[in-house]
Every structure is written in structure tokens, then in C-alpha cells.
Amino acid sequence: MSMVGLTLGVSVLIIVMSVMNGFDRELKQRILGMVPHATITAANGGMEDWQGIIQQAKETPGVVAAAPFVDGQGMLTNGDVVRGAMVYGVDPAYEKQVSIINDHMVQGNLDNLKPGEFGIVMGELMAQYLGVTMGDKVTLVLPEANVNLAGVFPRLKRFTVVGLFSVGAEVDSTLGYIHIKDGARFMRIAEGVEGVRLKMADLFQAPKLSWEVAMELPGRYYVQDWTRTQGQLFQAIQMEKTMVGLLLTLIVAVAAFNIVSTLVMVVTDKQSDIAILRTLGASPRTIMGIFMVQGSLIGVIGTLLGVGLGILAALNVSGIVSGLESLLGIRFLSPDVYFISYLPSELQWRDVGIISVAGLAMSFLATLYPAWRASKTQPAEALRYD
């Protein structure tokens, strides 16, 4: 039973850590594949020589690609349904280099955005909320007002849905894309470009590299990177992974404590045998070694079985959960609530190594007290009533 407890504790720890790694990976690939790694915007509100800035940015080591953009927050409406949205004005040719959106189109294509046609590409969840599909019209309303002789009216424009994307994250319900020239006209940006979006080879170099690019440019610019816009989310995931790992390590500790209780019971039950061995010349060190070997064997077998079971489950947990969802007809991770609508898993051998070493170490430490207690058995006391 001690071996079974240790096996379950080690396997559960490997599975949970793999799932946490999977969430971390998916959020980086999906959310940071859609939102900018870093942006550089002009201090005066418009960027004139954006082609030169893009070229200069791409010459910086570590910057993979760059693309122009305009953006704004507003509301998308269809009849009585209203949804808040972040709308990006993009150039399809450039946007494909910095975003994963073109790989996740479910209908239409990013190239369907043509200047002057006022088309919009939106997330599939956004389209479901608004009750629209390909070819339907939606109204984009900006939080700005037009003043004329008839009074004060909000700035709004009708757009045609020309594409739907789905990345399986929250951005499916919040993002919309229009052509950069249509966005510049609608948002009244004279120079046509509000800023430049950068894609980095290494996400964690984004703060440093974006500042290096901005410092080489003439004039004043504002720099923002993903650690400011999405950093708290990933910090929370790392903290949760650490805390969950520590808490689940207690399961392994409890299983190791079972080894202590098991060996103590064995020592009590084998008092007569230990006494006979002592009278035959066995030293306390030999007796202690016997019980340390027994406890260590339980720990080694339990840990190895747990590692094997944990690796097998971690590599197949996504398929197992999907099968349960299909069998039971429910969704464990609803896209309306969670960032990711399925259970990802990424097995990292570093975690497996740490968990294995921790399991073996705690198992070995659990053998010390019972073995020491066995070595202190006095033959005369143990055989008094035998």
C-alpha cells in the first residue's frame, strides 16, 4: 500500500505539472501570437516614415518581423446586440509575418481585407455573440463624437464580415481586423499609421529589444511590450504552477510517511527475528541496512511506477479529456469562460527529473527512523517472553 500511495503521488504530480506547462505554452503561442510582442508609436500620434522604421527594426538582431497598424477600442453592433471590441487596422501582407491569425482562419482569408471596401475579420466567438456570419453587416462605433448642425452623434461605420478566425482563446471574442487604410480614414489618422508592431525571436527579450529599436530612431516614440499588457497573466500562471507543485509534493511526502509507518510495523513484528540475528553476530549497522534496503526498494519501485504512469498519462491527457467530453456530452473548459477551450499538456523532462529525485530522496529519508529503531533492538528484551 505504501508503494501504491507513492506511485499515485508521483504520477499525479507529473500530470498536473505537465498540464500547467501546457497552459503556459498555449497562452504564449496563441495569445502572444495574436497580440503584439512590442509596439512603437509616435509621440505626436502619427508615424510618417513607417516603411523606414520597419526596415530599421528588422535589422536589429532578435527582431523577426515588423508590421504597421492602427488600433482603437469601440463597440460592434448588430441590431440590439452590442459587444466591446479591440479593432486593429492592418496591412494583410505585413500582418501575416507578425501574427498567427492567417493560420487559424475558419472562413475567409486575411487577404479579403481590401482598402475602401470596409471589410472586417473577427473572431468566431464574436460573430456568434453578434449573430452574424460571412457577408453580414456590422456597425463599428467609436467612443468619439461628431459635432454638426444636427447635433452630436457618435462616430460609426458599417463593415462587412469577410473572415472569421478561431485560436481557441479569449481573443476570439474581443479582436477584430480591418484594412489599415480603412482604419486610418475611420479613426482620422492623417499619416495613415499609428505605430509599428514588432515580433521577437525570444519573447523575453521584447522589453530590451524594443527599447533598442526606439533609441535608434529619430524623434520621440512610445514603447510598449507584452510584459505590460499580458505580463500579469503569465506571472500568475508561473506562481500557480509553483504553488500547485509545492502542494502536490505534500502528496508524495504523505506517501513517504506511509513507508515510515509500514517499516515501524515491520520492525515491531520482527523483533524476535532481529534479536536472533543479533545473537548470531549481526551488528546494529547490518540490521539498520536491512530495513533501509527494504524501505528504499519500496521507494524506488513506487517512484519508477509513478514516473511511468505519469509520463503515459501526461502524453495522452488531452485525448483522454476530449474523449470524456464526447462521451458525457459536456465541456470542461468552456471558451466563454476560459482562455483555452481544451486541456493542453507539455511534458518537460526537467520536471520529471526533479519529481523523481524528490520522490527517491523522501523515500530514503523515510527509512532512517525505522531502520535506526530496528538497530537498537536488544536481544534479551526481545526474546524475554519467547
- pLDDT digit string (tens) for 185-241? 888 776 668 888 998 888 778 888 888 888 888 778 888 888 787 767 677 767 777
Tell which of 193, 225, 257 closes a domain. Answer: 225
360 part of a folded domain: yes
Is residue 178 domain-shared with residue 129, that is, in the same domain?
A: yes
Is residue 172 domain-shared with residue 252, that is, in the same domain?
A: no
Is residue 220 domain-shared with residue 250, that is, in the same domain?
A: no
238 part of a folded domain: yes
pLDDT beyond 90 at 99: no
- pLDDT digit string (tens) for 68-84? 988 888 899 998 899 98
Is residue 15 domain-shared with residue 54, that is, in the same domain?
A: no
Is residue 221 domain-shared with residue 237, that is, in the same domain?
A: no
The single-letter DSSP state of residue 294 is H
Choose between 228 and 97: higher pLDDT. 97
Choose between 88 and 386: higher pLDDT. 88
CA gap 298, 1 in Å, rounded: 10
| CB within 8 Å of 310: residues ≥ 6 apart | 10, 11, 12, 13, 14, 15, 18, 352, 355
| Average pLDDT rounded to a whole number, residues 4-21 | 85
Is residue 96 domain-shared with residue 164, that is, in the same domain?
A: yes
| CB within 8 Å of 294: residues ≥ 6 apart | 263, 266, 367
Is residue 163 domain-shared with residue 45, that is, in the same domain?
A: yes
Q: Which of 100-114, 231-245, 282-296, 360-374 has the lowest mean pLDDT?
A: 231-245
Tell which of 225, 250, 283 closes a domain. Answer: 225
| CB within 8 Å of 304: residues ≥ 6 apart | none
Cell 463593415 -> residue: 159
Three cell numbers written together for 145: 463624437
This prediction has a pTM of 0.67
pLDDT beyond 70 at 148: no
Q: Measured in Å, how far apart are the chain's first and last C-alpha atoms? A: 30
* Total number of domains constituting the chain: 2
CA gap 156, 141 in Å, rounded: 4
Is residue 344 domain-shared with residue 211, that is, in the same domain?
A: no
Tell which of 159, 192, 225 closes a domain. Answer: 225
31 part of a folded domain: no
pLDDT of residue 191: 66
301 part of a folded domain: yes
Query: Which domain, by its residues, includes 216?
Result: 36-225
Is residue 16 domain-shared with residue 68, that is, in the same domain?
A: no
- pLDDT digit string (tens) for 357-373? 888 888 888 888 888 88
Identify which of 16, 31, 33, 32 has the alpha carbon closest to the alpha carbon of residue 346: 16
pLDDT beyond 60 at 151: no
- Specify whether the CB–CB gap between 87 and 141 falls below 8 A: no
Choose between 145 and 299: higher pLDDT. 299
